[in-house]
Amino acid sequence: MNLRGTIIDVGEVRSVSTRHGERELVEATIRPERIDGEGAATADGSVTVTLWGKWTHTAEHAGEGMDLLVTEAEETEFRGERGYATTGDSYVVLEPDFLVDVTDVRSWVQCPRMYYLNKLSGVPLAYPVVKGTIVHEVFGDLLRGRDLDAAVADHVEAAGLELGLLGREAEEVRDEVRRNAAAIEGWLAQGTLTDEDEWRSEYTLISPTFGIKGRADALRRGMPVELKTGKNTKRDPRFHDKIQAATYALLLGESGDPPDTGTLLYTKNAALDRSEASGDLSPAKEFSVGRGLLEFVVRTRNEIAAAEAERRVPTGYEADAKCEWCFEQDTCMVVSGRLDQESKAGQVGTAIPEEEREYFETFYRAIEDERRAVHAEYRKLWEQRPAERAAADRALIDLEPLDRRQLPDGDWELRARVPDGAVSKLREGDVALASAGDPIDGDAELGRIEELGDEAVVRVDEPLDLRRLDVYPSEISVSRQLTALHDALLKGDPERKDVLFGRRDPTFNEVAETFVDNNDAQNDAVRRAVGAEDFALVHGPPGTGKTYTIAHVVRALVERGERVLLSAFTNRAVDNALEALREQGFEDVARVGTATGVREDMLDVRLERRGEPNDRAAALRSAPVVAATTATCGSRELREDSFDVAVVDEASQLTEPGTLAAINLADRFVLVGDHQQLPPVVQSGDERLATSLFERLHDAHPDAATMLDRQYRMSQRIQAFASREFYDGALRPATPEVAGGTLSDLPGVDGAALGPELRRGVRFIDPDGRREGNANPVEAERVAAVVAEYLDAGVDPDDVVVIAPFRAQVAEISRRVDVAVDTVDRFQGSSAEVVVVSFVATGDLDGPIFEDTRRVNVALTRAKKSLVLVGDAGALASEPFYARMLDWARR
């Protein structure tokens, strides 16, 4: 039986004499979630569980409040007291909900402090890293039967940009990779394999039991094979490499017997000259995976989970690693010195001021909390039933496989029919978990969604019957925020930090030039941005032309000889800013992003990563404007770049460390946003993280901000409520035409045919519906009727959008209308002539749109000429803000 519960108390390790000799044990008291069978709980619901032998090591790391899982526990009775104990088949897992990555287990074994340093500094742009990636990709291709030379040439070309930035020549890299890959090919062909050898490349594994996730390089006959691009002339694999492969074995054994053999392939061995190198030069080294090794893996994983639960920063003393042989020694000493941390390596340098250390620690914790929230999303993969996941928009289920075909580069394209009306958070370009139905215990592959409509098309490494697609949570954003935090605090310019930490005010140069001659606020915003010696803020309420202003800012900076990083939270905003820039006649831009992320009409300025390294690097380095999302700013190729000014749009939707990822790369910065619209999305709910740097600086330095106060979108009637509630009444229509805009202004719309209701700029309708789950069918019906009225009056369907708070209601309405329907988050940044908002709620005001009035601001300010609010008047009138909204809408 499996026993799981929260630890109340952990006793001391003691020795007892047993019939097997002296043995160590620890007694832990836990409050179980549930006990299979009769159970042996005491009156207060707690039970005692005895952890025998080496599991006492885990008990030493366990603390009150942590979760403990004992698999294959047995019920015991000793002197009349009943309890539980580990058996020979048991594993003891601490904090099973914390998902440790397999590579983290590996680095922890090398030195726990190395695990911490890796988290802070991320993956650097370094030749061994890039070469390692290429060799891994070639390995995958070889397993899928691709020709060696073709695979090498293809992957070296694909890494053109990174290689160029590292100053490498393609031919030299091809030779080196070919030598490494030849070792693999030779080994594959060497009779090591038989016809029965079954191979799988890149296998994604998640273990709910052990709280570990990872991606194995390959499986051969179900056994893990790990590729290392270094050399190892010893007979045995290196211990930490062995641990990595053994961890995969543990995961593979979760639902059956674990594999008994692991293989490490040291590709550089075959490239060594036999006359010069001695030792065992064979690239493949096998080892037995015994029970002892698997238990060691779990105990190591438990150390990590416990350290994370206690927020302990490893010092390095926890392990036997020798600092003098450690390739991280310099980094380790610098980080220790700058953050004044105890470490085995010692400290160098001066510690950063205490307030900065506090800031670092606050955000470090907040980001780690966010990581736990991401882990909770992983957990839903196995905790929620397929129908529940589909209902929560986290999966598309019941797909009907249509086709699978292998592409020339060895990847597979899977095609399946999507059931009618199925909705989810998945979008084209997303990396998702494709499976044959069970993403945890069945066949599953990580793949990129190429198309998503009536059919889903997914590109994966290995073929499977595509029956289900799941949102695959990613820790990349969390990891990049940590690195941005590290870079800003430990490597950041002291003068920049003085301003960020309020030790001095930002300064500005006077700029007299006129940049925008028909809008004073926009002109002032450009002047401030150009004249800023530290930073400037542009506050852009809806429809005030902030994208247009950004384009002016970028052009003005480039004209002054500055190199500009143009960034935003979303690809959409980056491309909108680029579009505005190009409309103003500026084309000299390098857009960095994936082919699926970049909008089609911007692909011609997208920086191609493939190709001749020198050309690729020159294309990036010589671009006066580089445009990328803030997430991409944290990528290894951009993290090394530098700019004079970073212009960041949607800055109010970014967490503070998320913003740092972009502004770390520049001497000065301009943040553009509106803190009265959607705030950063923070799953853990941490308030510090949910407050953007834009908002913090806006509050601290209102003089550094320019508010764009003339809006070109909404009629006077529509904008009145938002202006009063969110912008102190300062927002006003830019022109009389905007102020008095009506639907009759639209081509094809017959003003005379519009009924009196349609002529009103703002309407409220209470259809007397009832919320059922996350939908309100009566309200959906009425929304459909309203949409039909507008279309009958000649309004183009593309000019109408419907906003609903829940995806269930989005689906309910989508079934009835042929216009765009989505949640408010999807519409931030866009607008439409007619907007219909369905509030769904009846009784209580419960739902995502009501969590923050700023969401309502976004919903209402999408409309240009006609806004219809559909909801339950009683529920809305129950809160003052919505009561005022009702008054205004009914006037």
Beta carbon nearer to ligand SF4, 113 or 415? 113
Q: Considering only the stretches 324-332, 440-448, 663-671, 781-789, report the one whose residues sit in contact with ligand SF4 under the rule CB under 6 A.
A: 324-332
> Using an 8 Å Cβ cutoff, are 236 and 290 in contact?
no
Tokens of 771: 């919320």
Taking CB under 6 A as the criterion, the residue among 343, 677, 715, 828 binding ligand SF4 is 343
User: From the CB of 108, what's the least distance to ligand SF4, in Å?
Assistant: 10
Instruction: State which residue, 117 or 670, has the beta carbon closest to ligand SF4.
Output: 117
336/842 with CB nearer ligand SF4: 336
| Closer residue to ligand SF4 (CB): 157 or 328 | 328
Question: At its nearest, how many Å lie between ligand SF4 and the CB of residue 380?
Answer: 35
Q: Contact between 605 and ligand SF4 (CB under 6 A)?
A: no
Q: Which is nearer to ligand SF4, 117 or 554 (CB)?
A: 117
CA–CA dist 26, 33 (Å, integer): 21
C-beta neighbour count of 197 within 10 angstroms: 10
Q: How far is the CB of 300 from ligand SF4 (least distance, A)?
A: 15
Q: Which of 159, 165, 345, 536 binds ligand SF4 (CB under 6 A)?
A: 345
Contact 609, 161 (CB under 8 A): yes
Distance of CA 762 to the CA centre of its chain: 38
Any residues with CB less than 8 A from the CB of 102 and at least 6 apart, and which? 205, 212, 213, 214, 215, 216, 244, 247, 248, 251
* Least separation in angstroms between CB 323 and ligand SF4: 3
Distance in angstroms (rounded) separating the CA atoms of residues 377 and 480: 18
> Which of helix, strand or coil describes residue 518?
coil
Contacts 24+ apart (CB under 8 A), 323-331: 326/111, 326/114, 328/111, 328/113, 328/114, 328/117, 331/117, 331/121
Handedness of CA 437, 438, 441, 444 (dihedral sign): positive
Are residues 209 and 69 in contact, defined by beta-carbon separation less than 8 angstroms?
A: yes
Q: Which residues pair with 820 in a beta bridge?
A: 801
329 touches ligand SF4 (CB under 6 A): yes
The verdict on 303 binding ligand SF4 (CB under 6 A) reads: no
Enumerate residues 216-255 that contact ligand SF4 by CB under 6 A.
Answer: none
Residues that contact ligand SF4, how many (by CB under 6 A): 14
Instruction: Give whichever of 276 and 320 is closer to ligand SF4, judged by the CB atom.
Output: 320
Smallest separation, CB 483 to ligand SF4 (Å): 17
344 makes contact with ligand SF4 (CB under 6 A) = yes
Residue found by looking up tokens 């036997």 in the block:
320
- The stretch near ligand SF4 (CB under 6 A) out of 113-121, 145-153, 220-228, 393-401 is 113-121
Looking at 745-840, which runs of residues are DSSP E strands?
A: 762-765, 800-803, 820-822, 832-838
Question: The tokens 């105990």 sit on which residue?
Answer: 299
Which residue, 78 or 317, is less far from ligand SF4 as judged by CB?
Answer: 317
User: C-beta of 244: minimal distance to ligand SF4 in Å?
Assistant: 17
Considering only 4, 61, 106, 113, the residue that binds ligand SF4 (CB under 6 A) is 113
Closer residue to ligand SF4, CB minimum distance, 340 or 887: 340
Does 109 contact ligand SF4 by CB under 6 A? no
Residue 307 in contact with ligand SF4, rule: CB under 6 A: no
Q: Is position 332 an interface residue for ligand SF4 (rule: CB under 6 A)?
A: yes
Shortest spacing between CB 406 and ligand SF4, in angstroms: 43
DSSP letters, 38-82, are: S----TTS-EEEEEETTHHHHHHH--TT-EEEETT-EEEEETTEE
- CB nearer to ligand SF4: give 316 or 871: 316
Candidates 59, 94, 326, 414: give the one binding ligand SF4 (CB under 6 A).
Answer: 326
Cα(588)–Cα(574) distance, integer angstroms: 15
Handedness of CA 373, 376, 378, 384 (dihedral sign): negative
CB of 105 to ligand SF4, least distance (A): 16
User: For the purposes of burial, counting CB atoms within 10 Å of the CB of 330, is it exposed (0-12), middle (13-18) or buried (19 or more)?
Assistant: exposed
Region of 325-333, 511-519, 572-580, 795-803 interacting with ligand SF4 (CB under 6 A) = 325-333
Identify each DSSP E strand in 683-827 by its residue range: 705-707, 710-711, 732-733, 762-765, 800-803, 820-822
Helix axes 239-252, 291-309, angle to 10 degrees: 90
Q: Of 36-44, 304-312, 323-331, 518-526, which part binds ligand SF4 (CB under 6 A)?
A: 323-331
Closest to ligand SF4 by CB, 109 or 856: 109
Encoded tokens for 628: 């990328």
Whose Cβ is closer to ligand SF4: residue 240's or residue 816's?
240
Taking CB under 6 A as the binding criterion, the range among 203-211, 327-335, 451-459, 594-602 that sits at the site for ligand SF4 is 327-335
Q: Do the beta carbons of residue 445 and residue 205 sit within 8 Å?
A: no
Rounded distance, CA 849 to CA 127, Å? 47
Which residue has its beta carbon closest to ligand SF4? 316
Within 13 Å of residue 164, how many CA atoms lie on the same side as its CB? 23
Among 106-114, 144-152, 564-572, 710-718, which window interacts with ligand SF4 (CB under 6 A)? 106-114
Minimum distance of ligand SF4 from residue 127's CB (angstroms): 21
> Residue 115 or 412: which CB sits closer to ligand SF4?
115
Residue 321, interface with ligand SF4 (CB under 6 A)?
yes
Whichever of 106 and 389 has its CB closer to ligand SF4, that residue is: 106
- Closest separation in Å from C-beta 118 to ligand SF4: 9
Tell the smallest beta-carbon distance from residue 126 to ligand SF4 (Å): 17
Work out how close the CB of 342 gets to ligand SF4 at its nearest, in angstroms, rounded to a whole number: 10
Pairing label, strands 395-396, 468-471: antiparallel
Q: What is the DSSP letter of 353?
A: P
Q: Are 303 and 264 in contact (CB under 8 A)?
A: no
Q: Is 111 in the site for ligand SF4 (CB under 6 A)?
A: yes
Residue 328 binds ligand SF4 (CB under 6 A): yes
Query: Is residue 516 close enough to count as binding ligand SF4 by CB under 6 A?
Result: no
- Residues 323, 431, 436, 791: which binds ligand SF4 (CB under 6 A)? 323
Nearer to ligand SF4, 158 or 333 (CB): 333
Is 114 a residue that touches ligand SF4 (CB under 6 A)?
yes
Stretch that binds ligand SF4, among 58-66, 316-324, 526-534, 809-817 (CB under 6 A): 316-324
- Ordered strands of the 705-707 beta sheet: 589-591, 625-629, 564-568, 643-649, 666-673, 535-539, 705-707
For ligand SF4, give the closer residue by CB, 316 or 506.
316
- Sequence-separated (6 or more) residues with CB below 8 Å from residue 455: 402, 415, 416, 417, 418
Give me the 801-830 binding string for ligand SF4, x by CB under 6 A, dash otherwise: ------------------------------
Token pair recorded at residue 194: 């038989």
- Least CB distance from residue 326 to ligand SF4, whole Å? 3
CA atoms of 647 and 536, how far apart (whole Å)? 9
Whole-number minimum distance, CB 183 to ligand SF4, in Å?
29
Tell me if 59 contacts ligand SF4 by CB under 6 A. no
With b for 16 or more beta-carbon neighbours within 10 A and e for fewer, the 445-472 pattern comes to: bbbbbeebeeebbbbbbbbbbbbbbbbb
Least distance between ligand SF4 and beta carbon 111 (Å): 3
Spell out the residues 6+ positions from residue 353 whose beta carbon is closer than 8 angstroms to its own. Answer: 501
Enumerate binding residues for ligand SF4 (CB under 6 A): 111, 113-114, 117, 316, 321, 323, 326, 328-329, 332, 343-345
